Amino acid sequence: MLYGILAAVSLAALWISVRYIGLRKAIRNSDRELQEITEDLEQNRIVKMSVPCRELEGLLITVNEALEGIRRQKVAYEDREAKLQRQIENISHDLRTPLTAIIGYLDLINTETLGEDDAQSFETVRKRAGMLQRLVSQFYDLARLEAGDYNLDMQEADIGKMLREELLDSFGDMEQKGIQVEVEIPERPVMICCDQDAMGRIFLNLIQNAGRYAASTLKVAVDVHDKITMISFENDVKEMKHEEANRLFDRFYTADPARGQGGTGLGLTISRHLTESMGGIMDAKLTEEDGREWLKIVSCYCSLRDQ
């Protein structure tokens, strides 16, 4: 009798052990499946339970329903984004032609025949029209970049020379704003494969960003190391937070609207898109040095050859 009881207890213990081990393995497998699914939601997969268990199967049903809801939201979001991009592109395209005509007519007006007050008003109108034209162009380019329709003409170029020329053109504006510019660019050619118009656009956006937010100093440097060309724009800032630095590439985000000076929050967004389209990366971080906070925007590209 005792032997039979012991045998039954042993069998029960063995069954529980096997069941426990099987459930642990099944949970690990389900966890691995869930991680794979969340990494690629495009695939219409569900989490399965390899060992029957009513309670855990109920949990997985809830998990799979949540995954399906996330997929539907993702599809709806991407659809809204695609529609918004098309609308922005269409509206921008429709506005560009009349704006170009307006600016052309403004350029034909002989300001010498205007009185002092009228001339000042006319200059204000022309500046505002130019700002609107640039804004429309930014909307249009951003829509094309995000849709993957922005065509690049990739050629070999000396970006050191290009950057020096952009800085030289902007030196007078920086000097008027009291911003000291420090430059470290190698005298030798720094060659990468890029679209020269896009690279010039990136440099101009970075210079304008520094012009808006630099407290007193802008440091520009080009460094080539291990076949990687790194371009850095670093300027001192006042009262910027780390989370603000992380958001600088968000559409329409301006770190300080009161000091934005007409900034739309699109320049850095477009710059990062252009950089990534040319195979590079761009990031920003906030550091502290000499008792001042510095915003450093770095972009990296593959060098064409050892330099």
Dist CA 45 CA 41 (whole Å): 8
Lowest mean pLDDT of 44-58, 112-126, 253-267, name the range: 253-267
Residues 161 and 217 in one domain: yes
Q: Which domain holds residue 113?
A: 77-147
Domain boundary among 147, 163, 182: 147
In this predicted structure, what is the pLDDT of residue 260?
Answer: 46
The pLDDT mean for the chain works out to 78
In this predicted structure, what is the pLDDT of residue 259?
Answer: 43
The SS3 assignment for 34 reads helix
- Most confident range (mean pLDDT) of 128-132, 161-165, 224-228 is 161-165
How does DSSP classify residue 55? H
Lowest mean pLDDT of 67-76, 137-146, 195-204, 257-266, name the range: 257-266
How does DSSP classify residue 290? T
In this predicted structure, what is the pLDDT of residue 233?
Answer: 92
- pLDDT higher for 140 or 277? 277
Residue type, 133: Q
Residues 33 and 56 in one domain: yes
- pLDDT higher for 252 or 306? 252
Residue 201 in this model has a pLDDT that exceeds 80 = yes
- The 10s digit of each residue's pLDDT in 19-69 is 666 667 767 777 777 776 776 766 677 767 666 666 677 777 777 777 778
Domain boundary among 147, 175, 196: 147
Residue type, 243: E
CATH code for the domain of 271: 3.30.565.10
Q: Report residue 306 as tokens.
A: 């050892």
Number of domains present in the structure of the chain: 3
CA–chain centroid gap for 202, Å, is 13
Residues 6 and 83 in one domain: no
Token match 């002989």: residue? 110
Mean pLDDT of 103-128: 79
Mean pLDDT of 117-141: 78
Dist CA 15 CA 26 (whole Å): 16
Residues 159 and 261 in one domain: yes
In this predicted structure, what is the pLDDT of residue 10?
Answer: 67
Residues 213 and 264 in one domain: yes
- The 10s digit of each residue's pLDDT in 72-110 is 888 787 777 777 767 777 777 777 778 788 888 778 777
Q: Helix and strand tally (H, E) in the chain? A: 7, 7
In this predicted structure, what is the pLDDT of residue 203?
Answer: 92
Dist CA 146 CA 126 (whole Å): 30
User: Rounded to the nearest 5°, which phi and psi values hold at 146?
Assistant: -70, -25
Mean pLDDT of 142-159: 82
Q: How much of the chain, in percent, has pLDDT values that exceed 90?
A: 4
Residue 276 in this model has a pLDDT that exceeds 70 = yes
CATH code for the domain of 123: 1.10.287
Domain boundary among 16, 44, 76: 76
